[in-house]
């Protein structure tokens, strides 16, 4: 199986034994507490679950600026996006101190992790602007990822972490949330060597279904990992539980048995387009996948990125930056000429009128009115799941 990023083995920051967890929770009673942002909490879940191997914790200013400028830590390790704990609160602890991190997404002031504070550094507004511009490609706060980053604050708290739990993810999504360790173990138990990962924050329509099938066939994959984001999204996106049901329904009806693994991960969407596509590749490599499907406007939002910017960025990184390869996908749609889903680049004789194309807005409008989606666009079983959600709303 493919090796993890920058390491021979995964380096999860989760505390594994009940004994150590109880000891840390006891020690935390006398520690100073800090309730972090949802973004920082999501980073902790990813660190705990091994997805962010080989990182040890939150980045300091030097590493943050290096990641923004060069897509690598000061050590030279390739890394495309910030993994930071930034606060706008009054800081009442000192460098060298251990603090208890409070989960912002769970009631009851629950402790999510223990952080050793290596450095407390102030970020200048110009430095924040520079990071945002380079990571997101814009400083426009109508971009949801940009707004989230600006809203975090200016005090950077770096240092190693010990993660105590996986927040709400392992409770709310117990059948779907999986760590990188669990996914690797499942792949190994199945005897799969060549695995294609498909990233999604949306329900899967027929185009997505066929894209997974095409990619699997073209790279002779042993199996497909459908890996859905379970964390915070922007308003209007389909909730994770509805997506989960829709995807499971599609796989059950339309894929061979034991060919698809349906899993999810606990992270908030960045909407960082090309940079986030690189991050997706990093943690799919950590899951043991050989390929990641990168499609049109992967991890994008609005009109902030070009259709294939997320593919092109892979051509700009060093050859040895990642072991995982990408499967470059074009826009997929149902061809009325051929009576099947195709990648548009493969059918040069087609015009726009030869495809069944629906915008996201049109889909939501039809579903909210109780109208059936065309069978060429969505499987009827999947459309029914989505319609129930929209009619309920």
Catalytic residues: 201-202
Tell which residue, 378, 380, 379, has the closest CA to residue 363.
378
Tell which residue, 195, 211, 226, 254, has the closest CA to residue 341.
211
Name the helix (H) or strand (E) containing 126: helix 125-136
Beta-sheet strands, E only, within the chain: 32-35, 57-58, 86-87, 98-102, 111-116, 119-122, 155-163, 195-200, 223-229, 260-265, 291-294, 325-328, 332-335, 340-343, 355-356
Tell which residue, 67, 66, 47, has the closest CA to residue 57.
47
Would you give the DSSP letter of residue 313?
G
Tell me how far the alpha carbon of residue 34 is from its chain's centroid.
Answer: 25
The pairing of strands 57-58 and 155-163 is antiparallel
Q: Are 289 and 327 in contact (CB under 8 A)?
A: no
The torsion angle over the Cα atoms of residues 160, 165, 168 and 172, rounded to 10 degrees, is 140
Report d(CA 328, CA 346) in Å as an integer. 13
SS3 392: helix
Report the 10 Å Cβ neighbour count for 252.
Answer: 12
Question: End-to-end alpha-carbon separation of the chain, Å?
Answer: 44
Would you give the DSSP letter of residue 321?
S
Cα 203 to Cα 186, 239, 313, 379, 389, distances in angstroms: 23, 9, 26, 11, 12
**Phi, psi at residue 268, to the nearest 5°?**
-90, 140
């Amino acid at each position: 199986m493919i090796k993890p990023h920058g390491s021979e083995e995964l380096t999860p920051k989760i505390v594994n034994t009940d004994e150590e967890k109880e000891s840390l929770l006891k020690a935390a009673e006398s520690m100073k507490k800090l309730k972090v942002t949802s973004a920082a909490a999501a980073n902790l879940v990813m660190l705990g679950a091994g997805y962010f191997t080989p990182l040890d914790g939150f980045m300091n200013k030097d590493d943050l600026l290096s990641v923004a400028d060069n897509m690598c830590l000061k050590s030279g390790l390739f890394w495309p996006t910030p993994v930071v704990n930034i606060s706008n609160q009054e800081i009442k602890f000192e460098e060298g101190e251990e603090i208890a991190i409070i989960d912002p997404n769970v009631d009851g002031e629950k402790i999510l992790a223990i952080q050793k504070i290596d450095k407390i550094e102030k970020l200048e507004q110009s430095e924040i602007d520079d990071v945002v511009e380079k990571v997101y490609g814009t400083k426009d706060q109508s971009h949801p990822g940009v707004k989230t980053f600006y809203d975090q604050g200016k005090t950077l708290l770096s240092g190693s972490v010990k993660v105590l739990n996986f927040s709400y993810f392992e409770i709310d999504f117990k059948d779907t949330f999986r760590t990188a360790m669990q996914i690797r173990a499942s792949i190994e138990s199945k005897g799969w060597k060549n695995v294609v990962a498909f990233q999604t924050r949306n329900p899967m329509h027929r185009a997505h279904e066929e894209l997974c099938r095409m990619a699997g066939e073209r790279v002779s994959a042993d199996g497909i990992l459908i890996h859905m984001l379970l964390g915070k999204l922007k308003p209007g996106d389909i909730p994770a539980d509805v997506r989960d049901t829709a995807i499971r329904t599609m796989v059950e009806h339309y894929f061979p048995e034991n060919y698809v693994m349906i899993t999810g991960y606990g992270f908030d969407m960045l909407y960082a387009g090309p940079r986030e596509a690189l991050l997706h590749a990093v943690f799919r490599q950590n899951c043991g996948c050989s390929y990641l499907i990168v499609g049109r406007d992967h991890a994008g939002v609005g009109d902030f990125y070009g259709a294939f910017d997320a593919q092109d960025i892979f051509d700009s990184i060093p050859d040895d930056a990642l072991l995982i390869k990408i499967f470059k996908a074009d826009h997929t749609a149902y061809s009325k000429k051929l009576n099947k889903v195709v990648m548009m680049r493969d059918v040069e004789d087609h015009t726009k009128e030869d495809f069944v194309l629906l915008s996201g807005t049109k889909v939501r409008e039809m579903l909210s009115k109780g109208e059936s989606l065309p069978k060429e666009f969505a499987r009827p079983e999947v459309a029914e799941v989505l319609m129930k959600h929209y009619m309920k709303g």
